[in-house]
Structure 1
Amino acid sequence: MQIETVIYVLLGGLAGGFVNGLAGMGTSLFALGFFLVVLDPVSAVALTALLAVLAGVQGLWISRAVLSSDPRRWLRFTLPGILGVPLGLMLLDWVDPAVLRRIIAAVLVLYGGYFGLRRSLPRLEGQYRWVDRALGFVGGILGGFASLSGVLPTIWLSMRAWPRAETRAVLQSYNFSILLFTVAGLALRGAYEAQVWVAFAVVLPAGVLAAQAGIFAFRRITDAQFQRLLVLLCLCLGLGMLARELLAG
């Protein structure tokens, strides 16, 4: 492996691992751009999914007490999300994913830009269990269709009046579960060739250390700061998606 490839793989591992440890999501946003510089698109996506699962295992471990205390909360998102993934894969033959990505990117920019500039953020106090299930299901469809499983749950949870530990635990478990299915699907397609495993061996220590650094930072911010962090991540995700679509076009 060339030194340039090693450098970009390490940078992607550090960026993606840190934000996953901090927020429980966002690995693709911060890692994929680095990986695409030196790897083909399929290998880059396959490596990103492995990195997200690696960081997600660590995040799930620190969230285990929250997850076990109220399993119904995260299962309301995760189980419908898993059911939605196959439907998303079926839609690939009917709808252009690029069009949907641009629409969602615009929504993220508008949402993140509007609330990111406001002093006070929305704080919904109700239960909204059916909304949780519906958004988890639609997120699963978007995950199978356009690799955007975490977008709607992140927007929704950034408005819920939950402690940051619960919000992060739900996002972490949800994204981890969807990504496991993504890794399985990529494996069935033969995406995990030798170069991906070599790159993963390089990214492994960087991803582990960066995720731990993100977890360390998460433990030192307040609930309000975490809520604003999710809003700003939505803005960054939208801008990143728009930039990627414009460059691809």
Structure 2
Amino acid sequence: MTAESVLFLALGAAAGGFINGLAGTGTALFALGFYLLVLDPLRAVAIVATMSVLTGLQGLWVVRHAISQQVPRLMRFLLPGVIGVPLGVMLLASIDARTLRFVIAALLIVYGVYFGFRAALPAFARRTPVWDGVIGFVGGVMGGAASVSGAIPAMWVSLRPWPKAETRAVLQPYNVVLLGLTAALLAWRGAFDATALTALAITVPVGIAVAQIGIFTFRRLTDTGFRRLLILLCLAMGVGILGQEVL
């Protein structure tokens, strides 16, 4: 592996690790572009999924108490999401994943622009267990069909006036489990060959180390600051997905 390849892998791991530590989602958006410069798409997605899981475990520890206090809420998102992933993979044969990613990008951009620059953030406090399950399922399907499992759940939870730890206690385990499932499916398809394992040896230590900087920043954000960050991250995800498809 060339020095240039190592550099791009390390830069992607640093960018993805930081945003994972900071927000608990968005790793692929910030890392995948670097990985695709030196790896084929199958290996790149496998590596970013694996790195997201390993760096995400640190974030799980940070909000472990919030997770234990809100297990039923988490399960409302997570269990339908797990069901949705293989269904999304099956849909790949009958839908245009590129068009789907364009639609998701447009939703994220409109949402991010509308809510991200308002003086007052939305305060949708009413309990919606059925809709939570629907959002979790849709996120799983989107992950299987277009590799954007975290986009719709991130939009939904950023509407809720929950403390930042409770918000992350949904997003972080949701992403860790769904991306772990994605990594397992890719491993079954033979994505982790010698080249991929070498890339993992570079990216995982960098991602884990830089994620600590993101976690350090997360601890110092207010609840309102974290919600605004998450909304602006939705905008960034939309622009990033759109840019990937256009370029």
Helix, strand or coil: the match of 1:37?
A: coil
**Is 1:181 matched up with 2:181?**
yes
Q: C-alpha offsets along residues 161-207 of structure 1, whole Å, 9 cap, x if unaligned? A: 10000101110010111001100110011011111110111112211
Aligned AA (2:63)? S
Consecutive unaligned residues of structure 2, counting only runs of 5 or more, are none
Match of 1:136 in 2: 136
Aligned AA (2:235)? L
Aligned AA (2:243)? A
Return structure 1 stretches of 4+ with deviation > 4 angstroms: none
Aligned AA (1:96)? D
Match of 2:238 in 1: 238
Match of 1:84 in 2: 84
Q: C-alpha offsets along residues 46-100 of structure 1, whole Å, 9 cap, x if unaligned? A: 1111110111111111221111122111111001100111111111111010000
Q: C-alpha offsets along residues 14-51 of structure 1, whole Å, 9 cap, x if unaligned? A: 10011001101000000001111111111111111111
Cα distance, 1:110 vs structure 2: 0.7
Which whole-Å CA distance do the structure 1 matches of 2:191 and 2:205 have between them? 22
Aligned residue pairs: how many? 247
TM-score for the superposition, normalised by structure 2: 0.98
Which whole-Å CA distance do the structure 1 matches of 2:193 and 2:70 have between them? 39
Consecutive unaligned residues of structure 1, counting only runs of 5 or more, are none
Which whole-Å CA distance do the structure 2 matches of 1:64 and 1:115 have between them? 29
Match of 1:34 in 2: 34
Aligned AA (1:28)? A
Which whole-Å CA distance do the structure 2 matches of 1:211 and 1:28 have between them? 14
Matches within 5 A, 1:76-155: 76-155=76-155
Which whole-Å CA distance do the structure 2 matches of 1:205 and 1:243 have between them? 28
CA RMSD of aligned residues (A): 0.8
Helix, strand or coil: the match of 2:120?
A: coil
**Is 1:203 matched up with 2:241?**
no
Cα distance, 1:210 vs structure 2: 1.0
Match of 1:61 in 2: 61
Aligned AA (2:202)? V
Match of 1:7 in 2: 7
Cα distance, 1:145 vs structure 2: 0.8
Which whole-Å CA distance do the structure 1 matches of 2:24 and 2:73 have between them? 16
Query: Is the deviation greater in 23-32 or in 108-117?
Result: 108-117
Identical aligned residues as a percent: 54
